[in-house]
Amino acid sequence: MPRFSFVIVFLSLLRLAVAAEGPMDASESDPNALGWMQGSPPPADKLIGQPDSNYFSFPKLRWTVCHFRELLPTKVMSRGLGAPVAFERAPDPAIDELTFTPLGGDAPMTWEASLAANYTDGIVILHKGRIVYERYFGCLDEAGKHGAMSMTKSLTGLLAEILVVEGELDETARVATIVPELADSAFGNATVREVMDMTTALDFSEDYNNPEADIWIYNAAANPLPKPADYDGPRSYFEYLPSVRQAGEHGEAFGYKTVNTDVLGWIVARTTGQSLADSLSGRVWSRIGAEQDGYFTVDSIGTPFAGGGLSAGLRDMARIGQLMLDEGVSHGERLFPADVVNNIRAGGDRTAFAKAGYDTLPGGSYRSMWWVFHNDHGAFAARGVHGQTVYVDPEAEMVIARFASHPAAKNAVIDPTSLPAYQAVAEYLLGRE
C-alpha cells in the first residue's frame, strides 16, 4: 500500500510528537515574528501549503492551526441566521498573578507564565457565564478560527449521547445493525456504547514513528486531495473503516483510537440522515448564540472528519463548555435533556481506563468522548492534541476554553502545567464569591 510522500493529511495531528526545528519558545516561534505567509506574495521560504509536506511540523504548525481551510477542503457547520448572543464581561486582571506548582515540580509558576509555557494561541475563562479573562496570541485573534483537533470527538460524542437519551439511538445495539457495511469489521459486533467510550478492541496502530502503521493507510484513505496514479487503496473514511480488525475482547480496556470516532460519526449520520456537520449545526451550534460558523475538513467524498476536523472560534468553544455546565440549557432554552450531561459527568469504566496508563489522569475515565477527571470539583473536559481544551468545573461554575500550538502533541507533556493552573483559577474564583 503506497503512502503519500508529498502531503501530511489532517490525521497526522494525532502523532505522538512533532519534531521541533530548534529550541524555540512561544515568543520565538510566533508565526507573526517568523513571517509565515506574509507579503503579496510571501517569499518562497515563508510559504506554507500544498504540496508542502511539512505544514504541520513545528514551528509551521503555529500558523497552520488557524488556516486549515486554506490547505484542505472543508464543510461549513452553520451558526444559523440569528444574531450572536454576546457574553457579559467582568474582567479580573488578578488572574494573571495566580500561582501554582506544576505536577512533579517544586517551583511556583504564575498563570500568565503558563500561557507562554503551553504555547497558548487563545484562552478565555467564564465564571457564572461571564467572561472574566480573555487573551490571544500568535495566529489567533477574536475573529479567527483555530483547529479544535480531538475536541471534535467530544462534539461527536455529545451528539451521540443526545440521540441516546432522546431515544433515537440504542447504546446497546451492535454497530452492524445500524451500519451493515461494518458487519465484518472489528466494529460490527461492538456495541454503540463501546464505540462511544472507546472500549473497542482494535488491531489498529497509531504509531506515527512506524511507517507501516495502520494510521498511514488511514491517512491515505482520508486524504481529500488527488491520489497518485498508482494508488489502489481506500479513498474515504467509509471505504477504510470496514477493514479494521479486532484484537481482544470489546469492553475490557480503554484504547484511544481515532477510528472509533469516525465510526461514531457514521452511526450518527446513518441515524439522523444528515452529515455530522449539519446535525451538530441544527441541534447545537445554531442554538447557542454562536458568533461564527465552524467548519470541518472532509475526505474525498465530503465526509466530515468526526475525529478531529473542526475549526471554530474560541468564544464559541467556550459556549459549548457553558452549555455543558448548564446541563443543556442555553440562554433560557433547553437544547437537550440534562441527563445527557449527567451521563457524561458520571464517567465511564474507570478500571478499563486505568489499563491505558494515563499518568497525568489518575482515577480518570472517558465517557461519550469526554475526559472525566473525577476530582473534587467534578471537572470534565474536551481535549485535543497540542493543547486544545474546553475544561468544565461545575463546582467553581467555571469554563476554560484554550487553543494552543504546543510543539508536543501529547497532552501528557502539557498537563503538568495546565491542570494545576486550571485548578488554581477554580479555587480563586470559588474564594472570590
| Catalytic residue positions, numbered | 150
Q: How far is CA 199 from CA 188, 191, 205, 229, 425, in A?
A: 14, 10, 15, 38, 33
DSSP 8-state assignment for residue 13: G
Rg (CA), the chain: 21
Q: How far is CA 181 from CA 177, 198, 385, in A?
A: 9, 20, 30
CA distance 405 to 209: 20
How many beta carbons lie within 10 A of that of residue 236, not counting itself? 17
| The C-alpha cell that represents 47 in the structure block | 510559504
CA distance 216 to 218: 5
| The C-alpha cell that represents 262 in the structure block | 469516525
Type of residue numbered 243: S
CA distance 237 to 300: 9
Q: What per-residue string of b and e applies to 59-69 under the rule 16 or more CB within 10 Å gives b?
A: bbbbbbbbbbe
Asked if 69 contacts 10 with a C-beta cutoff of 8 angstroms, the reply is no
DSSP of 191-230: BHHHHHTT---EE----TT-TTSHHHHHHHHH--SPPPTT
CA distance 386 to 16: 10
Helix (H, G, I), strand (E, B) or coil at 184: coil
